[in-house]
A and B are shown apart, each in its own frame.
Chain A
Amino acid sequence: AQSVSQHNHHVILSEAASLELGCNYSYGGTVNLFWYVQYPGQHLQLLLKYFSGDPLVKGIKGFEAEFIKSKFSFNLRKPSVQWSDTAEYFCAVMPTGGGNKLTFGTGTQLKVEL
């Protein structure tokens, strides 16, 4: 069975600071990788995804993530955060060819201060 580990549970940053959220997964086969975001009072939204190809993927709102296969990692980055990025961020994996079953990490609560 697959598992996902997010290293930071709570992160507090000032506006304009750079962000990197760690995500590591454990699975013996190929996976699709996702980052979802949950803004306060809103539903889960897809930030970005990696299926294959260029390991550096860009998502919405200036977010990007890099898939490093040798490290089983898919870290999320943003060069300069804004107050509106305050939200909970979830990394998730889905084995390819196995239907649509997402395994989520425990989430990282990001608070951006003005």
Chain B
Amino acid sequence: KAGVTQTPRYLIKTRGQQVTLSCSPISGHRSVSWYQQTPGQGLQFLFEYFSETQRNKGNFPGRFSGRQFSNSRSEMNVSTLELGDSALYLCASSPGTSDEQYFGPGTRLTVT
């Protein structure tokens, strides 16, 4: 079974721009979660989608948003990028609820 895939793997954007990251979960997994990883703040939960509905949300500003499609693929969008948004963005998929999560390789976003 293929693992979680994320595209693109690397991205460089300028302050003020917006960015969209994509995640394809493991086949059959209905839950997709997003995390931000930085050296200073560690791994922080952004949000979770299950069957196209946002089920959980972390403490991030409204500039961070996401969605999930009927095939469980998910996208994350960050608008009006700030330097502090530079991070590794990880996607994780899970078959159900309160389950172990399988992580993708991440998208490395650099904001200049």
Q: Which B residue's beta carbon lies closest to that of A42?
A: B105
Find out whether the CB atom of B45 lies under 8 angstroms from the CB atom of A103: yes
Q: How many Å lie between the Cα of A54 and that of B32 in the bound state? A: 29
A101 touches B103 (CB 8 A): no
Closest to B54 in A: A99
Counting chain B CB atoms within 10 Å of each CB, the highest count among A45, A94, A100 belongs to A100
> Which A72-114 residues sit within 8 Å CB-CB of chain B?
90, 92, 94-107
A43-B105, A43-B106, A49-B100 known; A98+B42 contact, CB < 8 A: no
Flag A16-50 by CB within 8 Å of B: 1 or 0 each: 00000000000000001010100000111110010
**Interface residue tally of chain A, by bracket?**
20 to 34
Report B28 CB to chain A, min CB distance, Å: 15
Least CB separation from B105: chain A residue: A43
Convert B42-79 into 0s and 1s, putting 1 for each residue whose CB lies closer than 8 angstroms to a CB of A.
11110010100001101000000000000000000000
Partner of B100 from A34, A97, A99 at Cβ < 8 Å:
A34
**Distance A96 CA – B97 CA, assembled complex (angstroms):** 8
Assess whether B103 is in contact with A100, with CB atoms less than 8 Å apart. Answer: no
A sample of 27 inter-chain contacts (CB < 8 A) reads: A32-B98, A42-B105, A44-B92, A44-B103, A46-B100, A94-B98, A98-B98, A99-B31, A99-B48, A99-B50, A99-B55, A99-B97, A100-B97, A100-B98, A100-B99, A100-B101, A101-B33, A101-B45, A101-B48, A101-B56, A101-B58, A102-B33, A102-B43, A102-B45, A103-B45, A104-B44, A107-B42
Which B residues fall within an 8 A CB radius of A? 31, 33, 35, 42-45, 48, 50, 55-56, 58, 90, 92, 94, 97-106
Interface residues of chain A, those whose CB is within 8 Å of chain B, are 32, 34, 36, 42-46, 49, 51, 90, 92, 94-107
Beyond A32-B98, A34-B100, A101-B48, 5 extra complex contacts between A and B, CB < 8 Å? A97-B98, A100-B33, A100-B92, A100-B98, A102-B92
